[in-house]
A = this chain, B = another copy of it.
């Protein structure tokens, strides 16, 4: 994918990521490090628990979502980071063997009032499993670099 800048995006554009399969070992590994609650790390306990089986940490699903999104390279040239995330929902658990992918829509674009080098974007991401069910829904604000002036001049 060629380098894209703030000016190159349109509200309504959609990007679909590749898939990532969440293994039991990967779920337990992540959770041992960051979210060591029994329903994320103890397969035996989890069988008898309310979710009837091991489920991935929500932060693991968020991390996998970000990784899948970055692999697309859509903001590679223009990402200036994010000041924060909107509400994040986990409508369904992610279980071992689930393959997730991320559908990203550009929902808002506006110039920065204070910083002329950038625009402010808002993306909505829905992470789905192999049955197309939503496992995560989130909006994120992103700072996007404007096309560098020299390049803009060369094109005009």
Contacts and interface: CB of A to CB of B under 8 A. Distances in A.
Interface string A108-148: 00000000000000000000000000000000000000000
Nearest to A91: B83
Contacts of A50: 80
Contacts of A51: 81
Contact of A66 (B34, B83, B87): B34
A63 B59 contact: yes
B89 A86 contact: no
Interface in A40-87: 50-51, 55, 58-59, 62-64, 66-67, 70, 79-87
A39 interface: yes
